[in-house]
Homo-oligomer: A and B are copies of this chain.
Amino acid sequence: MTGTWSRRRGRELVDAIHAAALEEVAEVGYGRLTMDGIAKRAETARTSLYRRWPSPAELLLDALAEAHPMERPAPGADDLRGDLIASLQLMVDWMLSPAGRAVQGIMSDPRRDPVLVRGLFERVFSAHGGTFTKTVLLHYARHGHFDEALVTPVVADIGEALVVKHAMDTGMPGPDVLAAIVEQAILPAIGLGPPRP
């Protein structure tokens, strides 16, 4: 164009394309993800994309593989309620991140690729010790705060499920809602809740 100008190459370019792919899928959804859209967003030529990836799906998988992994909950010693809230806050933060929004875009598509989904589960979730609240719950159960047998698959999902539903219905839950979820749903399920004090 006019005046001075620089041409991106290698890592720098690839990173820009990865970022563009994550933004694109978060905004338009996996269903509308196109090479063209990613290229335009990354301000590069479509041909540069085809030189490296054969399809938007492969490109996106690459982008997610290089995205920052989500933080892991680090439960303390004696604040189950606080640590549960913190772990849900971690989840909310991740859902708001580019990678998190991209994963939502993929997971919610009726035509989501099973292979891609399995890869996501293994890399993003399982590899990091399961769900957010589960880590915290198991920690406190093993430290004798309650019976570990109470942490069933259903109970381990309560927090995440309510956060996702709230995000779908009303938007991302704030700290007050997270506290309500912990107090009114999770803690009662392990026998430590407000009902019947």
* Contact A28 B111, CB 8 Å, known A150-B195, A177-B154, A188-B189: yes
- Kindly state whether residue A196 has any CB partner on chain B within 8 Å: yes
Q: Interface digits, A107-128 against B, CB 8 Å rule (1 contact, 0 not)?
A: 1111100000000000000000
Query: Contact: A184 with B180, CB < 8 Å?
Result: no
Task: Write out the residue numbers on chain B whose beta carbons fall within 8 Å of the beta carbon of A188.
Answer: 188-189, 191, 193, 195
Q: Interface digits, A17-44 against B, CB 8 Å rule (1 contact, 0 not)?
A: 0000000001111111000000000000
Please classify the interface of chain A as helix (H, G, I), strand (E, B), loop, or mixed, using the class held by over half of its residues: helix
List the B residue with the shortest CB-CB distance to A31.
B31
Query: Contact: B189 with A185, CB < 8 Å?
Result: yes
The answer for the CA separation of A119 and B162 in the assembled complex, in Å, is 23
Task: Write out the residue numbers on chain B whose beta carbons fall within 8 Å of the beta carbon of A180.
Answer: 152-154
* Contact A109 B164, CB 8 Å, known A154-B177, A180-B152, A193-B189: no
CB within 8 A of A189: which of B164, B165, B195? Answer: B195
Task: Write out the residue numbers on chain B whose beta carbons fall within 8 Å of the beta carbon of A154.
Answer: 162, 177, 180-181, 184-185
Query: Contact: A152 with B184, CB < 8 Å?
Result: yes
Query: Contact: A155 with B185, CB < 8 Å?
Result: yes
CB within 8 A of A157: which of B105, B155, B165? Answer: B165
Query: Contact: A165 with B161, CB < 8 Å?
Result: yes
Considering only residues 24-73 of chain A, those with a C-beta below 8 Å from chain B are: 26-32
The answer for the CA separation of A169 and B24 in the assembled complex, in Å, is 24
